A and B are shown apart, each in its own frame.
Chain A
Amino acid sequence: EDKVVQSPLSLVVHEGDTVTLNCSYEVTNFRSLLWYKQEKKAPTFLFMLTSSGIEKKSGRLSSILDKKELSSILNITATQTGDSAIYLCAVVRLNSGYALNFGKGTSLLVTP
């Protein structure tokens, strides 16, 4: 059975802190790993990772995949209150129509 495990499940930080969110997976026929941000509505896409060791960046957010360790991290630097959200990690298997297998998410609260 496929597994996607995120840690921590929740996190409270102060504005300006740097946070690292973790995602580990056990999936047969791995295709890709995706990160989403969810703020009280539908998830919004952040990154897709398919190759080990290649960092994806978007502003203060970055992510990297380690296929040997079957894991990924999402980094957020200089956090802002607008970063408060649930961050979801999802894995896609080959030949599954891009259907996503999600972890339970990390709830991040950034306090002023």
Chain B
Amino acid sequence: NAGVTQTPKFQVLKTGQSMTLQCAQDMNHEYMSWYRQDPGMGLRLIHYSVGAGITDQGEVPNGYNVSRSTTEDFPLRLLSAAPSQTSVYFCASSPRGQGSGEQYFGPGTRLTVT
């Protein structure tokens, strides 16, 4: 199992550009989520999904879109990048009903918007 994979690892965008951060998991997990981490802020939830075709907003959803057409993939789209979206982005997944509650995190994507 590759676990949770994220691409790219690093990305530099200009203000106004759009892009998609990819997230995939091969563990057949129902639940997936996206977080951003800024210095001194901990991780903040952007969007999450409880299964294919179902998504919901988290704490900081503005400027981001998601869709979940398959169980494996949960891409995060930046519609028009802004410097405030410079951050490290983590994707995570978890199986439904799991007793330990552990979420499996991807390695992260470091995004810089100039």
Contact = CB atoms under 8 A, between A and B. Distances in A.
B partners with A: yes
A99 B101 contact: no
Interface residues of B, number: 28
Contact of B107 (A41, A45, A92, A99): A41
Nearest to A4: B42
Given A98-B31, A98-B94, A102-B42, A42 B48 contact: no
A99 B45 contact: yes
B100 A48 contact: yes
Given A34-B101, A48-B102, A97-B49, A41 B108 contact: yes
A90 B35 CA distance: 12
A100 interface: yes
A100 B31 contact: no
A97 B48 contact: yes
Which of B48, B100, B105 is packed against the most chain A CB atoms within 10 Å?
A: B105
A98 B103 CA distance: 8
Interface residues of A, number: 24
Interface in B28-71: 30-31, 33, 35, 40-45, 48-50, 56, 58-59
A29 to B, nearest CB: 14
Contact of B59 (A9, A101, A105): A101
B31 A43 contact: no
Which of B42, B49, B98 is packed against the most chain A CB atoms within 10 Å?
A: B42
Interface of B: 30-31, 33, 35, 40-45, 48-50, 56, 58-59, 90, 92, 94, 98, 100-103, 105-108
Interface of A: 6, 9, 32, 34, 41-45, 48, 50, 88, 90, 92, 96-105
25 contacts: A6-B42, A34-B101, A34-B103, A41-B107, A42-B105, A42-B107, A42-B108, A43-B43, A45-B102, A48-B101, A48-B102, A88-B43, A90-B43, A97-B48, A97-B94, A98-B33, A98-B101, A100-B35, A100-B43, A100-B92, A102-B35, A102-B42, A102-B43, A104-B42, A105-B42
Contact of B48 (A41, A96, A103): A96
